Amino acid sequence: MRQNQSDFPSESTENSFHNKHLPSIFAFPKDENFWRIDWFGEVAFPNRLLRRTQPSILVHLSRVLNSSFQENPTLLLNPASTFASRPRKVWVSVGTLPLLRIGDIWRNGQLVASPDYELEQFLDLEINSQTAVLVKAGLNLEDKGFLLPRTEHPWHMECTQSYCLMVELPQNRRLIIPCMELVRFYFGSSSNLLSKLFLPPLSRDELYSKPHFDKSSGRLSLQLAASISGVSAADIGRMHMEPHAWRTAVHVGTSLLKGSVSGQGPYPQAYFPFEGQTDLIASGKWLSFQDDPRATFIVYSLRSCSYPFPFRSLRYCKPPPISARYY
């Protein structure tokens, strides 16, 4: 079993404006302008007077200045393609994260385009604590230059304290993945799972019980908690079987708490939910560093990951209704 992109419509359907089947977010601008998701800011409860069941993410949007991107999406690689110097900031519940990808274009509160930007495949990446490290989006690497130079990538400038994971590439190059994208891709199978991650402390009982793994067949069985959707069964199965996946899931919420207490800001940290070798396909943009014009690849969205799940098959069930437990 492999992790693959499955949460968005194909590109051939994404330009059908006002299609009721396309994702819609109430908090996004309701106008005829095109808005690009630029970056993700802090996570918080923005209005304490409202009894929210989950925190919200501050999403940074900028207005697209040239509608010709519909015929030529490469225009969006130009820093001048959007009004990045005056972003619009919108609070959106963390449960909406499966619908949110950096670089996506929205109009009238609906997703209308998911451009590929530069689509790259990274083969045989070795993922471990030495090759994949946390950095801040505004890092000046050893005082030699910014990983995300403002002149080439102005879209993160309001969130320079947010966290990314930096992965080593051959020939002294690097891959930069915003931590919020790691959370979306590896744990964004359902809003209720995401809500648990962003509201620490996370406990296994909140997610599942009665796990059983048959080594001979590679089959994992478990009972999901009543509040957990079946679409998250595979993610939760990996969290049960893979220690790195569980630690990563727990760390999302605890890093928010630590950031708030330390004054670093409530920005989540995240890692890969495994250690080992994988192939990644990602959409993003190449950026320069010193004399190399293609030294840093900033990931807007992960599209696929070849690292297998730690089981061959999965069976899950849900607990019986409360009323049925007393007969």
Give percent of the chain above pLDDT 70. 90
- Residue 308: asked if its preceding bond is cis (omega within 30°), the reply is no
Domain ranges of the chain: 2-113
How many Å apart are CA 267 and CA 244, to the nearest integer? 20
Q: Tokens 């690097």 belong to which residue?
A: 174
pLDDT value for 11: 28
Position 262 scores a pLDDT of 84
Is residue 13 helix, strand or coil? helix
Kind plus residue range of the DSSP H or E element containing 257: helix 243-262
The whole-model pTM stands at 0.91
Distance between CA 88 and CA 93 in Å, rounded?
16
Tokens of 113: 């385009």
User: Residue 309 carries which DSSP code?
Assistant: P
Answer whether residue 138 shows pLDDT above 90.
yes
pLDDT digits (tens, 9 = 90+) for 40-54: 999 998 876 555 678
Coil, strand or helix at 92: strand
Helix 243-262 crosses helix 233-241 at what angle (to 10 degrees)?
90
The number of beta carbons lying within 10 Å of the beta carbon of residue 279 is: 14
Distance CA 87, CA 222 (A): 44
Question: What pLDDT score does 21 carry?
Answer: 64
- Cβ distance 308 to 245 under 8 Å? no
